[in-house]
Structure 1
Amino acid sequence: MKQALRTIAKGVTIVEFHLFLTTLLVMVIHLSIFQMNIQEQIDWIQANTRVFALILAGVFLASLLLARYSLRFFTYISSSTKRTRLTSVLAIIFSSILSAILVNFFFQIANQLFQVDAAIDWIQENSSIFLVSSIYLALFALGLYLLIGNVHVTHLLYLTVGAGLAYAHYNKMKFRSEPLYPSDFNQIAHVGDVIPMISEYLSIGLLLLIAAAIILLAVLIPFLPKGKMVWWSRLAVLPIVAFLLYSFTYYESTYANKVIDKMEVSLIPWNQVQNYKTNGFVVSFLYNMQGNQFAKPDEYDKKRVTDITKSLPLSGAYSTASATPGFKQSPNVIFLMSETFWDPTKLENLQFSEDPMPYIRSLMKEYPSGQILSPSFGGGTANVEFEALTGMSTSFLKTGTTPYQEMVTGQDPFPTIASTYKQHGYDTTAFHPYKRVYYKRPNVYEQFGFDAFVSKEGFEHTDKNGGKYISDAALTKEMIQHLEKTDEPSFMHVVSMQNHFPYDGKQYEEMRIDVEGLSSKYEPMMEEFAEGIKRTDEATKQLVEQLEQLDEPTLVVFWGDHLPILGSDKALYKEARFTEGKSEEQAEVLYHETPLFFYANYPIQKKELGTISPIYLPSLALEYSGTPKPPFYDFLSELKQDLPGIQKRIKLDEHGNILTKLPKKELALLSHYKLLEYDLLDGQQYTEEELFSQ
């Protein structure tokens, strides 16, 4: 067996050598005979792919005829210690560069959603960026070798990790239309929960083929030439490589910044999908590693923000809700953020056998209602609840930032709507029928002023009703039970889970809504999503009916966190022609609007809220519950009158119109808001006491 493996390993070594020889010969032929430069070679190869493949195969097969001479060559170079060391070092450097180019190519293919031609086009147009980013990746490969000491183990590991990162980036782009960010690795411990959600979309055959190749190479590694460097030389080179890696990783604060400038990189921080497509995966990923999630405004200082605070109007000057009648006791307040709740009948080219949300639609006609302009699409739930609980916009933050994981945990306590109600004698509890560890919620909720956090591990009602997650009906029972056993008024922040991705058509035994207008591939997906919305509608009716019987005034703020992932790269939306004929800005709004309504079992005035950002939910809730507002939330009421919709790329006026240019007043208000938020979230908190005083 060992002899057979040695024979195979020797064959692999010869193949490796002849692949290198083939590549070198073809490049020489192109350079010398056809007198092509690198750019022209790439153009020629792209235009003559089949011819190039035949040339490559022919040269490779011809070189194999010289196999016995290559064996003599190996014997010759191994006969001298000096020659062996030199060739080993050259082989290590060459293999590091080759692996880096290959991994970089993987990244570009993933960036272009596996469109190889588009990836090659990008490399042609951005050869300097590709070259520098490949050198950076080669430093990683070399550093890994210096730590491991075996060139084949190093590159097997390197290529496996590189391909894995590229595949993760591809899947995130495909499903959420969002690139892979460094912050995503904060949730790496939960990857086991994510894989089942996307397993239906993974190519099992491809994964098995890759796994088989990795196993085969792993078995052959002990029999392959080692390509060694003595330990002391590796130890001597390692600090140099580490220094170079650090310099380029954090280029904004090192000399490497000059290299990046010479590359003429055009960063597009406000549109990260375009940023990755324009500048490539490596440069864009590194940009998002620079920290500085909230860039310090130039005009920020203590005097400026305290002057803004002093200029704020008296509390109550900008209330937009009708005054609530006097209560014998303060009303309970429930923030109910419904996972992926969206109105599928907005896909007007489809036909539904029945309305999936008739009860909620009736509530929206009777009570204050509108649409939430979500900061996220297909995911990013934590950023939506961050806005809703704090009144602070993620539009000022670097795209890809998750404040729960990167910013909030440094402040304790952190002012929120929960801490405001707590100051008024409320019991404050957060509910989420899933695992408690996501997004650092236990720590964050504690800092936000919650007395308790109840995850699925603490739920008494765990019925799934045929679904994959705890149902909204079970969640309703949990909420009512908490209200019944709590003596003081309650503020409850509830994040549901029932309608979470994926929608594979296999979740429910019975789907009661038929959908027409889609291909057979997507009809089951939409029917399953519609069934989930119908079940949420039924659970909402159950909640309201029980609150009507409850001898306690209660306010419910209900909204969907984001639209669903329906097929890769928004495939179902595209097939249904959801944004057909719309501008890019109009499509952006459509992909971020979810239903919103306020319900109360006491009289509140019906009001059309339009499309608003989650940042305004705290101020509205305080008004509808008759609770005095701290100055910060009163300021948000003022801001809402002029800019009800604030997203990174979109601003909406009170009529829902997209503002292409902000008027002077709105610009000033937005500037004040940004300064105050920076001070509270990432600055010195000069204004916290004043802004949240009662």
Structure 2
Amino acid sequence: MIDYLKGAFTYLLVMFLIVTLYTELSHYWSTIGGVRGDLVKFEIPLVLLLLFIFYFPTINNRIIRYLFPVVPVLVLYLSVDIFYGFLGRSPRPSDFQNINMVSDFSVGLMFLIFFLGFLICFPVVMLFYKAYQNRSFKDIIYSVLFRVLSVSLVLFVFLSDTFADYRASSYQYTEWSQEKSIKENGRFSSFIFYGYQEKKNFSLLNEYGKKNIDIKEILFPNIVRHPRNIHIVVLESFIDPRLLLNINFNRSPLANELISYLLPASYNFSHVISPVYGGNTAQAEFELLTGM
């Protein structure tokens, strides 16, 4: 028992150092990198708890025993860094609905997703293979059952509404900066937080969708006496070429018919980030038209 506890302590210490080192060094390639004090409150304990489930003291090879469990975590961290680099926000559960659309605009990016998925699965398979290659069938069943139940329990707790409410109340949320929020709380913690916020928003939309609500009277009671029509042109096939950096034009890239509809290039433009990519245009249109 003493040897098991010593081995487990060494294992968790190595995992802690590797995860912390990656988090600190990642600021060289990602703006959400760097170690912050709040990471030790939730993010790192969560990661260590998940990693402990994949602790196999019977594996003699120390490289496999200590490094293979942490590889999937590092790959997931790197995936969040790549995602944030592309879209400038934390990933959310609904983003998985768009994975099959990635190949429509980037075959290379789709290949990268498959490669990262392989890097996540391969170490886990090797861990189980090395741990159980000389074990009896009964021991394998007990061990696998214990780990499956442990993972299920962790997921049940962390995905429950009660825990989500607690986490939302303690999350160091910066409304104007997801970058700062992710830095302060961690990648997994932010995924859980924004996923819960997304779930709550969907629930509210479904609830309000079943009611006959006059949104104008709720937001502006007795104020808008003479409603006016506002025309919004949503054109996916057009971008303003004047916004492209490091490109010079020998003449105006805009057709004369468009100039009267666009602000002069000297204006300070406002920008929005689309909630989806590769399809599902209606989601972006809905947010634009409703302001939600």
Q: 1:139 to 1:238 in 2, by over 3 A?
A: farther
1:114 aligns with 2:29: yes
Unaligned 5+ segments in structure 2 are: 264-268
Paired letter, 2:195:
M
Q: 1:245 to 1:86 in 2, by over 3 A?
A: farther
**Distance between the aligned counterparts of 2:247 and 2:2, measured in 1?**
68
Secondary structure of the 2:273 match is coil
Taking structure 1 as the reference length, what is the TM-score of the superposition? 0.30
Paired letter, 2:201:
Q
Q: 1:266 to 1:344 in 2, by over 3 A?
A: same
Q: Say whether the 8 Å CA contact 1:176–1:378 is kept in structure 2.
A: no
Q: 1:278 to 1:347 in 2, by over 3 A?
A: same
Paired letter, 1:318:
R
**Distance between the aligned counterparts of 1:177 and 1:108, measured in 2?**
19
1:293 aligns with 2:208: no
Secondary structure of the 2:236 match is strand
How far the C-alpha of 1:266 sits from its partner, in A, is: 1.5
Secondary structure of the 2:201 match is coil
- Structure 1 counterpart of 2:14: 98
Secondary structure of the 2:200 match is coil
1:201-350 superposed matches below 5 A: 222=130, 230-231=139-140, 232=142, 235-236=145-146, 239-240=149-150, 242-247=152-157, 249-250=158-159, 252-254=161-163, 257=166, 265-290=171-196, 291-294=199-202, 296=204, 305=214, 308=217, 317-319=227-229, 336-338=235-237, 341-346=238-243
- Structure 2 counterpart of 1:504: none
- Structure 2 counterpart of 1:177: 88
- Structure 2 counterpart of 1:140: 50
**Distance between the aligned counterparts of 1:104 and 1:257, measured in 2?**
25
- Per-residue CA deviation, residues 14-70 of structure 1 (Å, 9 max, x unaligned), is xxxxxxxxxxxxxxxxxxxxxxxxxxxxxxxxxxxxxxxxxxxxxxxxxxxxxxxxx
Paired letter, 2:43:
S
Q: 1:106 to 1:345 in 2, by over 3 A?
A: same
- Structure 2 counterpart of 1:376: 273
> Which structure has the larger Rg over C-alpha atoms?
1
Identity level (%): 15
Q: Say whether the 8 Å CA contact 2:14–2:66 is kept in structure 1.
A: no
**Distance between the aligned counterparts of 1:307 and 1:182, measured in 2?**
31
Q: 1:177 to 1:115 in 2, by over 3 A?
A: closer
Q: Could you say which structure has the higher helix fraction?
A: 2
Q: 1:150 to 1:269 in 2, by over 3 A?
A: farther
Q: Could you say which structure has the higher strand fraction?
A: 1
**Distance between the aligned counterparts of 1:155 and 1:97, measured in 2?**
10
**Distance between the aligned counterparts of 2:47 and 2:107, measured in 1?**
31
Q: Say whether the 8 Å CA contact 1:92–1:227 is kept in structure 2.
A: no
How far the C-alpha of 1:230 sits from its partner, in A, is: 4.5
- Per-residue CA deviation, residues 474-496 of structure 1 (Å, 9 max, x unaligned), is xxxxxxxxxxxxxxxxxxxxxxx
**Distance between the aligned counterparts of 1:159 and 1:284, measured in 2?**
19
Q: 1:387 to 1:114 in 2, by over 3 A?
A: closer
Unaligned 5+ segments in structure 1 are: 1-84, 322-333, 394-613, 616-635, 637-645, 647-673, 675-694
Matched pairs, number: 266
Secondary structure of the 1:356 match is coil
1:353 aligns with 2:259: no
- Structure 2 counterpart of 1:664: none
- Per-residue CA deviation, residues 330-381 of structure 1 (Å, 9 max, x unaligned), is xxxx97521xx322334587532343343xxx12246xx2479663269736
How far the C-alpha of 1:154 sits from its partner, in A, is: 7.4
How far the C-alpha of 1:276 sits from its partner, in A, is: 0.7
Which has the higher relative contact order, 1 or 2, with Cα contacts under 8 A spaced 6 or more apart? 2
How far the C-alpha of 1:242 sits from its partner, in A, is: 3.5
